[in-house]
Amino acid sequence: MSAQTGRPTLADAPPSSRRIDRARIRVENLKNDPNPIWMREMRQAARLGRTPIILAVITGLMALLICAVGGVASVKAEPAKVGVALFHTFFSLAFAVVTWIGPAVAASTIASERSGRTWEALSLTGLGPTTIAQGKFLASLTYISLYIVMLVPVGALPFLFGGVSATEVLAAFALLFCFGVLSVAFGLSISSQFSSSAVAIVVTLLVAIPLSLMVYLLGGVALSVAVHDLWPAIPKGAPVWLPTAYVRAELGLEYLAFLVLAPLVVIGVPAWFLYEVTVANMGGVSDDRSSGIRRWFLVSAPAFCVAAVVPTFAVPSDRWAATAIALSLMFIFLTTMAFVFAGEPLGPSRRVLIHWERRGVGRLRRYLGPGITRAVSLLMILGTLCLGLQMAVGVILELTAGGPLAHQNATRVVAFGGYLVGYCLFLAGLSAWTRARSWWQPCS
Amino acid sequence: MSQSELWVAAAPALVQAPAIRVRHLWHRYGAMDVLRDVSLEVGHGEIFGFIGPNGAGKTTTIRIMATLLDPMAGRVEIDGIDVSVDPDQVRKIIGYMPDHAGVYDRITVREYLEFFADSYRVTNLGVVDAVIELTDLGNLQDRLVAALSKGMKQRLGLARILLHDPKILILDEPASDLDPRARIEIRDLLLELRELGKTIFLSSHILTELSDVCTSVGILERGKLVVAGPIGEIAERLEEQRAAQAVGLAPGDPGAPRPIQAFVPAAVEPAPAPAADGAPVAPPPPAVVTTAGGAEIPAATRKRLRLRVLGDARVVMPLIAGGTGILGVEPGPGGQLTVYYVGNDRFVADVVRHLVASGVGIVGVEPERNELERIFLEVTRGDLQ
């Protein structure tokens, strides 16, 4: 029974029941007994007088700006071009709103519990870091969704001018929401690390603003040039090209690789990582704070490897360069993980060991648990396998394609990949060595 | 398995574990030991007062009990459950109210409690109403938390920790910064909770606040527990110790009572320090006062008696001043007389009888009741970490 909604909570369906019934009960309970933190945050936000004022001001400013741009542009340009210009202007600004306000809103949530001295009471309720993180995430996402919904009427204006289809506008809003998810997850992960909401907001904005500008320029403007080569229907240099690509690109392997697989990996993998980091930061020193991130690495490393290697199939003109880029991206990923794992505890705590014994936890689960040697060995094994797979794919593609430089390029791939594998192993070993010799111990 | 083996196997479960058991607890912040081999036990249904000056380590001990901090060495069990191993289980049976706890300002009292009821996964909706009634928050339930006074917020904090019906309440300075009325209300509420069968572990450095409600106390100084047990028992032992000292017996001599430091749970053997800095704390030198005759006696043995007599108190003063056991007499307004003395209740009765026999009309007799203050002064040195 939920005291906040006054509705009954249904008992979990027995494992023998049909999957559809279990899902139905779960959905029913989501409705009747939602995350308590989400409910409370929404109540508090509803009583905050400045929320509607901020929403109205942002929407009003955006509407004025779009009308001004539209008015100026329509003097000389034809309506369709004005529509395209407004589309890019509006969604560029909306991207800034979501990627700046989203992290800032999320950054204050967990940190404000600590600075407001409500964290202890909350953590003692037994809700657990997972439920707290989910509640905070939902609350921040709901808040940022309010901004997106308020901006919908303004965002529909370009559609009236023509040049963009309704599907493109809808796709753009859907992508905006996805960026909202990432932004909120990013803000939460930083918030979980700090005990002062002011510091958390400042740090979040200091990182989020340059990062969002980089994503906008590299993933928007710069990537649109490469995408234009692949799909000429996408305008060159257009920052908001992805919604257009979903509508205008031809279906095929490229569509699947660049517009389905890559965005899924690019949004899903970081969002999952940020979630695991948030949960880990909220756990106690003696808790198992490693398994989540380790599970994420176990899944994301192969996914990242595949996502990086698939484009090499789509670029027959310069496979060596594509393979080198894929290897480099994988290496950057593995290097980052070496630094993440450098913060691992030396081994599992007494609490973790006792719980493993009680539950009869298997060897794989223990391997994914806390411990620097476990983490680094996983990094070494998976890193070598992923880089090895990319090298193998690169070599096979070069040799099967033939040509005068095939053998030379294959040798280049092996040499470059071998160097990266060696350096990756060195980095993993170095991080383990420094951790083992470090005097630093995490404290709560 | 034979019957006796079965009995042996079942025996540990039959013996009820104390509500709180702390064994050889050590904790350190940086290079400073904030807790040094602290051991104590609190029985079920007790109100245990945890006393100590600011910085003595009370909050650290309490945070470890509340599963918010991991001990560096030692063991803490709540109702037989190790807090380091099963913090989630411990959280289900404790209610912890921290010192200066925060609240969510922009929700009402009822919404606040409903939120925590959901967070504790309380299934009975009536619990919120019951807790509101118990803590007398009914008139305020629709008021925003931000609009509550400090005393009411403390009351709300108490209501919050009662929602999941915990067996043990751990309260860190629950009456600090409260006005006298709010203090009295909190004290009455604690007594009511004790009647409901709750075990209450209460920290404070305000002794009068504790002496009214506690069944037993523990005094912590510089991270070390100097004494623990029922107030009456400690006072009695101190009296014995004083008497022994008066006849020249030093602690440890044959026939001398156990030193006061031995009041920590007797079954506990001292544990080695986790690091080199484990020097034992020297027993505190007793503070002394000088009597009219020039004799020095421990300050803590001096007691105070307030009398109210008919007529001028200064006329009565010569009748008792300078008598055996009388250390001093001070007149006050309205026939009030403060008598400093050494002795027990029989001595007080003798003084009153003597005054009545001398024709003095006695309106009121108020012996000093706060033994806790005396115990505290006697067993601590008064310096901070």
Reported ipTM: the value is 0.86
The pTM of this model reads 0.81
What DSSP designation does B144 have? B
Token pair listed for A378: 């996983």
Sequence-distant (6+) residues with CB within 8 A of A68 are: none
Exposure b/e, A45-68, CB count within 10 A at least 16 = b: beeeeeeeeebeebbeebeeebee
Euclidean distance between CA atoms B297 and B277, whole angstroms: 35
Q: What is the pLDDT of residues B192-239, one digit of tens each?
A: 999 999 999 999 877 777 777 888 899 898 899 988 888 877 877 776
A38, A123, A125: best mutation site toward chain B, by most B Cβ within 10 Å? A125
User: Does residue B298 surpass a pLDDT of 60?
Assistant: no
Alpha carbon of residue B206 to chain centroid: 9
Q: Half-sphere exposure of residue B257, counting CA atoms within 13 Å on the CB side?
A: 20
Residues in chain B: 385
pLDDT at position B297 is 53
The pLDDT of residue A12 is above 90: no
Averaged confidence pLDDT in chain B: 80
User: What's the rounded Cα separation, in Å, for the pair B316 and B331?
Assistant: 9
Per the CB < 8 A criterion, the answer to whether A192 and A122 are in contact is no
The Cβ of residue A441 has, within 10 Å, a number of other Cβ atoms equal to 8
CA A337 to chain CA centroid, nearest Å: 15
How much is the pLDDT for A292?
Answer: 95
One-letter identity of residue B200:
I
The more confident residue out of B270 and B379 is B379
- Over residues A273-310, the pLDDT tens digits come to 999 999 999 998 899 999 999 999 999 999 989 888 88
- Pairwise CA distance, residues B87 & B89, whole Å: 5
Strands (E), chain B: 20-29, 32-42, 47-51, 73-78, 81-82, 94-97, 168-172, 199-204, 216-221, 224-230, 288-290, 296-298, 303-309, 326-331, 336-341, 362-367
**The pLDDT value given to residue B8:** 44
Please check whether residue B135 is in contact with residue B148, taking contact to mean a CB–CB distance below 8 angstroms.
no
User: What pLDDT shows up at residue A229?
Assistant: 83
Q: Spell out a b/e string for B138-147, using b for 16 or more CB atoms within 10 Å of the CB, else e.
A: eebeeebbee
Q: Which residue on chain B is closest to A120 by alpha carbon?
A: B68
Residues 104-163 of B with CB under 8 A from A: 104, 106-107, 111, 113-125, 127-128, 144, 157, 160
Instruction: Please work out, in degrees rounded to the nearest 5, the angle formed at the alpha carbon of residue A23 by the alpha carbons of A17 and A28.
Output: 115
Q: In this model, does residue A319 exceed pLDDT 50?
A: yes
- Secondary structure of residue B326 in the 3-state scheme: strand
B85 and A CB contact within 8 Å: yes
Average pLDDT over residues A122-150: 93
Q: Please name the member of B70, B103, B111 whose beta carbon is closest to the beta carbon of A118.
A: B103
Helix H segments across A223-349?
A: 223-230, 242-248, 253-254, 262-282, 291-314, 319-341
Average pLDDT across chain A, whole number: 89
CB contact under 8 A, B119 and A9: no
How distant, in Å, are the alpha carbons of A19, A249, B95, B137, B335 from that of B223?
A: 57, 71, 24, 37, 46
Largest pairwise CA distance in chain B: 83
Contact criterion met (CB below 8 Å) for A239 and A214: no
pLDDT level of residue B167 (50, 70, 90 thresholds): very high
Which of B312, B374, B382 is CA-nearest to residue B340? B374
Express each pLDDT in B104-150 by its tens digit: 989 999 999 999 999 998 888 789 999 999 988 999 999 999 999 98
**Pick among B88, B89, B114 to test the A interface (most A CBs inside 10 A):** B114
Q: Sort strands B32-42 and B326-331 into parallel, antiparallel or unpaired.
A: unpaired
Nearest residue of chain B to residue A47 (CA atoms): B106
Question: How far is it, in rounded angstroms, from Cα A80 to Cα B336?
Answer: 99
DSSP string, A339-392: HHHTT--SS--HHHHHHHHHHT--HHHHHTSS-HHHHHHHHHHHHHHHHHHHHH
Percent pLDDT > 70 in chain A is 96
A31 pLDDT band, cuts 50/70/90, is confident
Record: contact B118-A6, CB cut-off 8 A: no
Shortest alpha-carbon distance between residue B184 and chain A (Å) = 24
Please write down the long-range contacts of A429-438, taking CB distance under 8 Å and 24 or more positions apart.
A429/A376, A429/A380, A430/A338, A431/A338, A431/A339, A431/A341, A431/A342, A431/A376, A432/A342, A432/A372, A432/A373, A432/A376, A434/A342, A435/A342, A435/A343, A435/A344, A435/A346, A435/A372, A436/A346, A436/A372
3-state secondary structure of A16: coil
Interface probe, candidates A43, A112, A122, A124, chain B, greatest B C-beta count within 10 A? A124
* Residues of chain B neighbouring A116 (CB-CB closer than 8 A): 102
Structure tokens at A395: 């070599």
Lowest mean pLDDT across A178-182, A187-191, A415-419, B266-270: B266-270
Contact A444 B94 (CB under 8 A): no
Domains and CATH numbers, chain B: 3-225 (3.40.50.300), 289-373 (3.30.70.100)
